[in-house]
Amino acid sequence: MSGRGGVEEKLAVVRDRRTGSEKVPYPIRIRELQVLRSRMVGSALLRVTFGGEGLAGFVSHCPDEHVRLIFPEPDGSLRLPEPDGDMLRWPRPVPRSREYTVRRHDADAGELDIDIALHRGGLASDWAVDAAPGDTLHVAGPPGGLAVPHGYDRWLLAGDITALPAIARWLEGLPSDARGWAFVEVTDASEEIEIAAPAGVSVRWVHRGGVAPGLSDALEKAVREVRVPDGERVYAWIAGEAGSLKPLRRWVRDELGLAGDDHEITGYWKRGTADFDDDEEEHGHGH
């Protein structure tokens, strides 16, 4: 699919359905962006706002989109992918990079927000803490988005702190009369943030407490309490630590009985793996 027009036409076709999601690819670009500012959002997320001439033409349509932030190598050198039609050709080994959700894109203001979960020793986390206005970073993507029609009766959104930016964007984009549930696992109340959710969607903060990230079953237990009324169609979107999602994958399939295009469950990270790629592990391909 080539060009912005083709993308928007495909998105419109999918969204005109009552149900049934579909991934829509975008032309993938590499951009050099400037840091405009940064601020904390709750105690765990650092929002970095990017801008600059390189943001021109950036597209953002779906709440689960991600971009890949590309960092210099330890010796200071920078290895970048090269344009290849609507794709990018990546050098091998792949440059030091991390994927993050597009939290907000404002084309008129020329701004792109990325919310980065802070953890000591993390490549992107350490960079973000030190980033100052005027610093530059190369950003690739997004490679596409998940188009989901708004005809579902209920919505089920769940994830940990790494999924919070996407969940917040999901909630902001749902119809005002949407109904459903959103669950976000956080350490404690300090990590909770303000979210604009439809009145009919309950937002529950699940406190993990002292249990290490990725090892708690608190989110799973909370989500499994959901009861979908008979005859209603539900869409489920769940993301977080890959291993902890396995029981919820089974529950969505076996208990809710959702078809493949009625849910998306994605491992955003994996304990002990620096740059985990759920697509690569499950489907044999990378970005």
Q: What is the pLDDT of residues 230-243, one digit of tens each?
A: 999 999 999 999 99
Question: Of 225, 247, 246, 249, which is closest to residue 236 (Cα–Cα)?
Answer: 249
User: At residue 5, does pLDDT exceed 70?
Assistant: no
Sheet of strand 154-159: strand arrangement: 200-207, 179-186, 154-159, 234-241, 263-269
Residue 121: band (very low, low, confident or very high) from pLDDT cuts 50, 70, 90: confident
Distances in Å between the Cα of 69 and the Cα atoms of 81, 126, 139 are 12, 13, 5
Matching residue, tokens 């999602």: 245
Return the pLDDT at 4.
58
146-172 pLDDT tens trace = 999 999 999 999 999 999 999 999 999
Q: How many helices (H) and strands (E) does the chain have?
A: 6, 16
Closest CA to 61 of 148, 164, 181: 148
- Per the prediction, the chain carries an average pLDDT of 92
Total Cβ atoms within 10 A of residue 155: 23
CB 137 within 8 A of CB 67: no
Beta bridge partners of 184: 159, 205
Q: Can you tell me the distance from the alpha carbon of 139 to that of 32, in angstroms, rounded to the nearest whole number?
A: 6
Residue matched to tokens 């929002």: 47
Euclidean distance between CA atoms 123 and 96, whole angstroms: 8
Q: Which residues contact 2 (CB under 8 A, 6 or more apart)?
A: 27, 86
CATH 3.40.50.80, applies to 152-282: yes
pLDDT confidence of residue 180 = 98
Domain at 3-145, CATH from 2.40.30.10, 3.40.50.720, 3.10.20.90, 3.40.50.2300: 2.40.30.10
Is the per-residue pLDDT at 281 higher than 50? no
pLDDT above 70 covers a percentage of the chain that reads 93
Q: What is the C-alpha to C-alpha distance for residues 102 and 59, in angstroms, rounded to an integer?
A: 10
For residue 279, pLDDT beyond 80: no
DSSP 95: P
Say if residue 273's pLDDT is above 90. no
Residues 175-216 pLDDT 10s: 999 999 999 999 999 999 999 999 999 999 999 999 999 999
Give domain limits for the chain: 3-145, 152-282
Region 77-91: mean pLDDT is: 95
Host H or E run for residue 215: none
Looking at the DSSP bridge assignments, the partners of residue 64 are none
How many residues are given for the chain? 287
Q: Model's pTM, two decimal places?
A: 0.92
